[in-house]
Chains A and B, each alone.
Chain A
């Protein structure tokens, strides 16, 4: 099964067929979602009724409300953007600090703490959400019963959604940034120090620029993961629902091509972000 090991012709053909079927399997669900966003029919299913942009732009006058006139979806989209912004900021900041902590410093119990740092990766998302809900809502109840103080930040709502997502996305950011820091040549920093830079200046002029591609990559990943997260978010959301939860609620009522339009928008948006991040990362690597 190597290029240098001879294979029979039928094995090759079978292998090729398998590859084709696999990539079809991979592409099909996304393709149909995208295509039916343009079908001029009230349901995303065959038969094909003709091409339309109604599911994006219709203003509701002929019984169809396109995505860009659907206030519910648009506000959910905005909620998702706000949440993703804060999650990205917090995760990248903590991730940077963690990366330096584990790659550069020596302290007692480092191995153990590193394992603890990895833990959020092996906790199911629903459990992360539930535990944060129990802990903070319990605290809010306690404060309200005993002292009569209303701690609304600890009730289900956007602050808790952000907390829940930060809990596990931080680990991923740490891993991405730490992987690049590990490849950094310490002599560059020492040269800067020898040339008279203070440690802070050396950090900002030498190390940080080196880390930048991984920081941008981690930020893009954090933004996408936050935007797409459902399992943790659904447990912690209050009256302002992020897009995934809003879409889920719509989907349970029944599917319309507006959902396809939203899905297509999400695919295009995240593909653009991914390409952007990869482009920057690629440039960083070739430098």
Chain B
């Protein structure tokens, strides 16, 4: 192609990318950052200050929820990894022929239904008038209705369920590409299950583990439906507070500050995860 034509096509193809990323991602986030430093003086003038961030640290309800959300998201991610790994291993390495495809498809099916539907299903199972409670009573393990919903355990069950697909798929993809001979060599050299897993399989699967963990962590930290519908009064989630500031209280300055803090938390944890495991974002996500 002639240089001028090349330049023209570069500009034409660059335009949608730039419009999309600047108008829908970059500018909105910069504006959110700016608003988070706004301090309202009168009804139409603002100054800049750290008032909102001050509120966050002085109001224990804010930062407690913040820490709680972070810790529970990390725990959920870890639990999802532990639950999904044997499944991914089975699908990638042990299942043969048709059953491999069928099992993989079975993992995908719940995700054709939306998060709302999945959460709703769990509510039908776990609540006082729900299926588990009825079964426990029918077999005589409980005298009356048992409430299993509205506590942290229920929230984690729902969150792990929501994250599973995003853990299973990258794990299956990386484990599928592994050469069985290196695992056999590990056993031949006297390794037991545990050392082979730790020294050979996990390092090999690391890109899949990291990408799965990042996506599950992000989804969990940012989830809104599951903690609200399945959690009780004491199990507040940080996204809920952001929503309250924006929609219920109309305090956008405070909401923006909380939003920035959540973004900082997620970025720092994702960055730290990539650093610790020696992966990079392009490799695990692109």
Contacts and interface: CB of A to CB of B under 8 A. Distances in A.
Interface in B242-275: 242-243, 246-247, 252, 255-256, 259, 262-263, 266-267, 270
B113 A26 contact: no
Contacts of A114: 282, 286
A182 B200 CA distance: 30
Contacts of A247: 116
Given A45-B134, A105-B9, A199 B16 contact: no
Contacts of B121: 28-30, 32-33, 263
Contacts of B129: 43, 45-46
B123 A124 contact: no
A22 interface: yes
Interface string B187-201: 100000100110000
Interface in B229-243: 229, 239, 242-243
B285 to A, nearest CB: 5
B256 A18 contact: no
Contact of A127 (B16, B130, B214, B222): B222
Contact of A94 (B1, B16, B117): B16
A interface SS class: helix
A135 B28 contact: yes
Interface string B165-192: 0000000000000001001100100000
A248 B113 contact: no
Interface residues of B, number: 89
A119 interface: yes
A143 interface: no
B35 A134 contact: yes
B13 A105 contact: yes
A208 interface: no
Nearest to B19: A94
A255 interface: yes
A44 B113 CA distance: 18
A209 interface: no
B259 A101 contact: no
Interface centre among B14, B26, B121 (most CB of A within 10 A): B121
Interface stretch (A52-60, A64-72, A211-219, A228-236): A228-236
B114 A228 contact: yes
Interface in B24-44: 24-29, 31-32, 35, 44
B interface SS class: helix
B252 A271 contact: no
A47 B161 CA distance: 26
B141 interface: no
Contacts of A122: 214, 218, 266-267, 270, 281, 285
B150 interface: no
Interface residues of A, number: 85
A97 interface: yes
A135 to B, nearest CB: 4
Contacts of A234: 224, 243
Given A36-B124, A107-B10, A175-B286, A119 B25 contact: yes
A32 B125 contact: yes
B172 to A, nearest CB: 14
B29 A263 contact: no
Interface of A: 1-5, 15, 18-19, 22-23, 25-30, 32-33, 36, 43-47, 93-94, 97-98, 100-101, 105, 107, 111, 113-128, 130-136, 138, 145, 163-164, 166-167, 170, 175, 199, 224, 227-228, 230-231, 234-235, 244, 247-248, 251, 255, 259-260, 263, 266-267, 270-271, 274
Given A3-B93, A98-B13, A126-B259, 17 more contacts: A22-B83, A27-B106, A29-B161, A45-B124, A94-B17, A97-B13, A97-B16, A116-B21, A117-B17, A117-B21, A122-B267, A123-B25, A124-B263, A127-B263, A163-B24, A235-B246, A267-B113
22 contacts: A2-B93, A2-B94, A28-B121, A30-B113, A30-B118, A45-B129, A45-B131, A47-B134, A93-B16, A98-B16, A101-B10, A101-B13, A105-B10, A111-B282, A117-B21, A121-B215, A122-B218, A124-B266, A131-B28, A131-B29, A167-B25, A263-B116
